[in-house]
Amino acid sequence: MTISNEDLNTITQQLGREPEGVQEIPIRGKDGRPVVIRVRSMVRGKPFPNLFWLTDPILKKEIDKVEATGLIKNLENEILKADEDFKNRLIQDHINYIELRLKYMQEEEDLKDLRPEYLEALKTKGIGGLSDYSRVRCLHMHFAHYLVSGNSVGEWLENRFSLKEYL
């Protein structure tokens, strides 16, 4: 899928900086604006843990508000500890993310040319570069992943805050 100069200009405005490593725009709003971008797993010659990046400023602001309430700490310290099924789905989300990252990398890059420590990081680091798959680093990344291919934390956010209405 070709990304137009207009798309890149919009993404630059949304992020407040030029995007690096943009590969595609898997999710667009009803008006066609980029909502989620997919980026390369290697940016500036180093591993980049964020496969999907939420660019829509309204959604970002709404998720910022949710994060500001301490929801990540509440998720990790109470909700995930009380709900083993949810915790197991989160762990699977991290594994699925890694598998998807490697699939894209196999299609776009020559994995044999990567430094072994970089390849190891990309094979073991989950959403947001986490090694501990029972943790949540950033709700924005989980929601972006949810919009593209499903994610339990993103689904949980949608069920509580109806964030898709901003698309």
Pair of tokens at residue 31: 């008006």
C-alpha 33/C-alpha 141 separation (Å) is 18
C-alpha neighbours within 13 Å on the C-beta side of residue 34: 27
What are the extents of the domains in the chain?
Answer: 5-166
Task: Look at the pTM and tell me if it is higher than 0.75.
Answer: yes
Q: CA 7, CA 146: separation in Å to the nearest integer?
A: 22
- Write the pLDDT tens digit of every residue in 111-163: 778 899 999 999 999 999 999 999 999 999 999 999 999 999 999 999 999 99
Question: pLDDT confidence of 2, banded at 50, 70, 90?
Answer: confident
